[in-house]
């Protein structure tokens, strides 16, 4: 957001992942700032955890699917704050409140007391260095198979930049391991050497020893 207090209170109340940090604020008050489906979905997710959830929108109405907006409004602990932007984040060691301004009339400022602020402004993919070598989807994500392989031999991808759903650090780490093993096996094949051994063994026999469950 590039507003006063954002850097100071990062990980002290300001978060960029509702799924990651939402459970830390169970029974407390939280706000989501952003536009589109992502902000709306985060507000719905947090409604099951936080005592009160504010969805702060700079527009007069949410810019997203109307059915989801209807579902959101049915939740008793979610309030949509229209035509407001965050101008300052305040607190003492941790986030305690935010100043809300009217984007059309900046002189109007309101203070909202919350325990957590989740920033859901969306993401920008940066794949220019390989864009002509891989296949991408409508979100400009690199399309891969279950082994991290792209359409080009020898190019593997992993993490949030790919079309794998659920953008989480732990998922990216797992995908990184898969892509690394796939790349290793690719190089081994070029060298005419054996690939890495599969972790799972066929149930029944191994080294001529019978297994029984």
Identify the DSSP state of 136: B
| pLDDT value of residue 199 | 67
Overall fold of domain 14-120: FAD/NAD(P)-binding domain (3.50.50)
Structure tokens at 178: 């898969």
Residues near 61 by beta carbon (within 8 Å), at least 6 away in sequence: 69, 82
Pick the CATH number of 125-195 from 3.30.1240.10, 3.90.330.10, 3.40.50.280, 3.50.50.60: 3.50.50.60
Mean pLDDT by 10 residues, the chain (213 residues): 95 94 97 88 94 93 77 88 95 97 90 97 87 94 96 96 90 95 95 81 57 49
| pLDDT value of residue 211 | 46
Are domains 14-120 and 125-195 of this chain identical in fold?
Answer: yes
| pLDDT value of residue 63 | 73
Residues near 98 by beta carbon (within 8 Å), at least 6 away in sequence: 31, 86, 88, 89, 90, 111, 112, 114, 117
Q: Where are the domains of the chain?
A: 14-120, 125-195
| pLDDT value of residue 4 | 96
Instruction: Report the interhelical angle of 36-47 vs 66-74 (nearest 10°).
Output: 20
Spatial separation of the C-alpha atoms in residues 68 and 169, rounded to whole Å:
27
Is the sign of the CA dihedral 147, 152, 156, 159 positive or negative? negative
Distances 69 to 26, 114, 120 between C-alpha atoms, Å:
23, 22, 16
| pLDDT value of residue 109 | 92
The residue whose two tokens read 């993919």 is: 125
């Amino acid at each position: 957001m590039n507003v006063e207090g954002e850097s100071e209170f990062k990980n002290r109340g300001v978060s960029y992942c509702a799924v990651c940090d939402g459970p830390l604020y169970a029974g407390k008050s939280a706000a989501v700032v952003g536009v589109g489906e992502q902000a709306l979905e985060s507000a719905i997710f947090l409604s099951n955890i936080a005592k009160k959830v504010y969805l702060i929108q700079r527009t007069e109405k949410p810019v997203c699917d109307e059915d989801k907006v209807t579902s959101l409004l049915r939740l008793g602990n979610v309030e949509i704050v229209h035509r407001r932007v965050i101008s300052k984040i305040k607190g003492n060691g941790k986030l305690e409140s935010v100043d809300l301004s009217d984007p059309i009339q900046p002189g109007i400022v309101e203070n909202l007391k919350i325990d957590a602020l989740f920033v859901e402004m969306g993401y920008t993919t940066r794949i220019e260095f390989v864009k002509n070598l891989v296949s991408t989807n409508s979100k400009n994500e690199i399309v891969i198979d279950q082994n991290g392989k792209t359409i080009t031999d020898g190019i593997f991808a992993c993490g949030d930049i790919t079309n794998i759903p659920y953008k989480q650090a732990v998922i990216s780490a797992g995908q990184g391991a898969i892509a690394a093993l796939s790349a290793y096996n690719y190089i081994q094949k070029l060298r005419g050497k054996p690939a890495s051994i599969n972790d799972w063994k066929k149930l029944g026999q191994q080294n001529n020893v019978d297994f029984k469950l």
